[in-house]
A and B are shown apart, each in its own frame.
Chain A
Amino acid sequence: MSEQHLHNTEEHAHDEHAGLSKSKIWQVFFILLGITVVEFVIALVILPGGMVSRMAANIAYILLTLLKAYYIVAFFMHLKFEKTGLKLSLGLAFIFIFYFITLMLIEGGYLNIHMTLNS
């Protein structure tokens, strides 16, 4: 049994996870940095300049954040190169989080209607 395990681990270390090449790592780094710079430009230039609404900027922030999250999870955490089953078992669980977000925002909106300024 332990022999089997060792064999699997060895196999795993050699074949299936060649890992990222150095150039790919730096490419992902510059993408992440670039997205962060875009966020700063929105916050410090575009938004004070009154070019877009607060709502549009917030949507842009959230989309850019999700894009950054994708690059970190897919490449740095190497999930893109794992088996589909693992991707699904980790990814599908986030349905509950989206459900929770929806519920809590509805709740927050309801409270907002019934809110006095200092409560």
Chain B
Amino acid sequence: MDSLSQLDQVKTTPWSGGRSPWSVEYGKLMMWFFLLSDAFTFSSLLVYYGAQRFSKFTWPNPDLVFQSIPGIKDSGAPLVFVGIMTFILIMSSVTMVLAVEAGHRRAKSQVVGWMIATIIGGFMFLGCQALEWTHLHHEGFWWGSIPEPEKLKEFFTGPVSNVAAQQFANLFFTITGFHGFHVFSGVIINIIILCMTINGTFEKRGHYLMVEKVGLYWHFVDLVWVFVFTFFYLV
């Protein structure tokens, strides 16, 4: 042990071993690389969506497909509901980063408060997504099914294509579903971290690095939504 520690002292440059050359704790680094791989998965889904859309003469117009606010307005309000969803997710990202900030100060009660706010934001987003899915399902869109020809005409500004509508439906439910699954698992992980914070696990450990790690995951989920929002609702 003694000679080992002496050996360690000789090594001082970042890449000579004995310490993380990037000054990032192991778990956090692995979270980064997991998120990188997840970014590839989401990219491949979105790029496939783009390629499909590029290959078709016509595509359902998002302003016509997404124009309801469940429970308030059935049509004529494009982007409003998804705007609310986007706001909720950005807001929950802010509460998450505030939890991380409180963790740096080791302010346990503040971490607990901001984590609870983040979890509520996550559930609100999932609720909105459930409403959105239900609405589209009632219109007739689902994996492998599209609305009746009469109804389908309402979603196109140009000529109607059954194949384009089907590709749109499949990809919409797959991609927002995969994202929603990430939000759901993020909420579960946040709840676990909240329980550990309340139990005082991190206080005993002396640092709140776990909060930072789940924070990275949660921000990534927000990041993916930014892209999903652009490519499904705006473009």
Residues 160 to 215 of chain B near chain A (Cβ within 8 Å): 161-163, 206-209, 212, 215
B83 touching A13, Cβ below 8 Å: no
B80 to chain A, nearest CB (A): 9
Residue of B nearest to A13 (CB): B207
B12 at the interface (CB under 8 A from A): no
14 contacts between A and B (CB under 8 A): A8-B25, A9-B25, A29-B90, A33-B90, A36-B83, A44-B78, A62-B230, A76-B97, A77-B216, A90-B33, A90-B36, A108-B53, A115-B56, A115-B57
B219 to chain A, nearest CB (A): 5
Spell out A's residues near B (CB within 8 Å): 4-5, 8-10, 12-13, 16-22, 25-26, 29, 32-33, 36, 39-40, 42-44, 58, 61-62, 64-65, 68-69, 72-73, 76-78, 82-83, 85-86, 90, 93-94, 96-97, 100-101, 104-105, 107-112, 115, 117-119
B48 touching A104, Cβ below 8 Å: yes
A20 touching B23, Cβ below 8 Å: no
Which among B32, B209, B235 is the interface contact of A90 at CB below 8 angstroms?
B32
B75 to chain A, nearest CB (A): 15
A4 to B113, CA, bound (A): 33
Residue of B nearest to A101 (CB): B47
Extra A-B contacts (16), CB below 8 Å, given A72-B219, A76-B97 = A12-B25, A19-B100, A25-B94, A25-B97, A36-B90, A39-B230, A58-B234, A72-B222, A77-B215, A85-B22, A90-B36, A100-B43, A101-B43, A105-B54, A107-B51, A115-B56
Residues 10 to 43 of chain B near chain A (Cβ within 8 Å): 14, 18-26, 29, 32-33, 36, 39-40, 43
Spell out B's residues near A (CB within 8 Å): 8, 14, 18-26, 29, 32-33, 36, 39-40, 43-44, 47-48, 50-58, 63, 78-79, 83, 86-87, 90-91, 93-94, 96-98, 100-101, 104, 159, 161-163, 206-209, 212, 215-216, 219-220, 222-223, 226-227, 229-230, 234-235
B219 touching A108, Cβ below 8 Å: no
Contact A100 B97, CB 8 Å, known A8-B25, A108-B53, A115-B57: no
Which among A18, A73, A82 is the interface contact of B24 at CB below 8 angstroms?
A82
B226 touching A68, Cβ below 8 Å: yes
A25 touching B98, Cβ below 8 Å: yes
* Interchain residue pairs A-B with the least CB separation, the first 8: A108-B54, A111-B55, A108-B51, A13-B207, A104-B51, A86-B22, A65-B230, A108-B55
B97 touching A117, Cβ below 8 Å: no
A36 to chain B, nearest CB (A): 6
B94 touching A29, Cβ below 8 Å: yes
Q: Which residues of A contact B78 (CB under 8 A)?
A: 43-44
A19 touching B207, Cβ below 8 Å: no
Which among A65, A77, A97, A118 is the interface contact of B226 at CB below 8 angstroms?
A65
A16 touching B159, Cβ below 8 Å: no
A22 touching B98, Cβ below 8 Å: yes
Q: Which residues of A contact B33 (CB under 8 A)?
A: 90
A2 to chain B, nearest CB (A): 11
Contact A104 B50, CB 8 Å, known A19-B104, A61-B235, A86-B22: yes
Q: Which residues of B contact A112 (CB under 8 A)?
A: 54-57
B13 to chain A, nearest CB (A): 13
Residue of A nearest to B53 (CB): A108
